[in-house]
Amino acid sequence: AQTVTQSQPEMSVQEAETVTLSCTYDTSESDYYLFWYKQPPSRQMILVIRQEAYKQQNATENRFSVNFQKAAKSFSLKISDSQLGDAAMYFCAYRSLGGSARQLTFGSGTQLTVLP
Amino acid sequence: NAGVTQTPKFRILKIGQSMTLQCTQDMNHNYMYWYRQDPGMGLKLIYYSVGAGITDKGEVPNGYNVSRSTTEDFPLRLELAAPSQTSVYFCASSWGQSNEKLFFGSGTQLSVL
């Protein structure tokens, strides 16, 4: 079974600065998908960014980008020009291509605080 | 557009009581999921369904039951509630492609006292 580890329970960043959230995962599969979800205080889960394992190019979405290191099984999220609205719990998630469930396997989350 | 709708948003149960958490999606998604989120933990899969009439267990199914009589609805039943079931419950749906995102409901905060 796949496991996802987020070793930083809490992080803080100054507004307009850059912060990187870490994620590592364990899998024996060669193809899979990785996701970062944001959960603000409203509890609504919001997709931030996704990465296909077969793509070497790191995904980017505006101020959000990832550093995907397949050999190291690492998938970190970089938030540039941090804004107060970025404050939330961030979850890293893994999704296998195989299996009937196609479910997401989540890490334990990183609580990000943005300081004004 | 409604997306995934969960009811209720909050509920307090006494030990041994039963209840049903409702989940409805209006996107014609085949796949539906129930997750629970404990404090300081990630979401864990309880049950899932790949289509009407088809359900299967996830990682933590004990104490729960589900049914999927229609594409739209995927209720989660708690029988004989226990304090260990105190959690936030999320329903989610998708078409089932591996690269697509899951659409989540806003969650149900359940306390069993």
Are B110 and B9 in contact by the 8 Å Cβ rule? The answer is no
pLDDT of residue A16: 97
* B82: CB partners within 8 A, 6+ apart: B15, B63, B112
Q: What is the DSSP letter of B111?
A: E
* A101 — pLDDT class (breaks 50, 70, 90): low
Helix, strand, coil abundance in chain A, percent, nearest 5: 5, 55, 45
Of A33, A43, A91, the CB nearest to B106: A43
- Contact assignment for A91 to B58 by CB distance below 8 Å: no
- In one-letter notation, the amino acid at residue B37 is Q
Tens digit of pLDDT for each residue in A11-61? 999 999 999 999 999 998 888 999 999 999 888 899 999 999 988 899 999
Which residue is closest to A2 within chain B, CA to CA?
B59
Of B101, B104, B107, the CB nearest to A35: B101
pLDDT of residue A30: 87
Q: What is the DSSP letter of B15?
A: T
Q: Residue B94: helix, strand or coil by DSSP?
A: strand
* A96 — pLDDT class (breaks 50, 70, 90): confident
Task: Give the number of other Cβ atoms within 10 Å of residue A69's Cβ.
Answer: 12
Q: What are phi and psi of A97, to 5 degrees?
A: -80, -30
With a cut of 70, say whether residue B64 has pLDDT above it: yes
Mean pLDDT of B56-76: 96
* B1 — pLDDT class (breaks 50, 70, 90): low
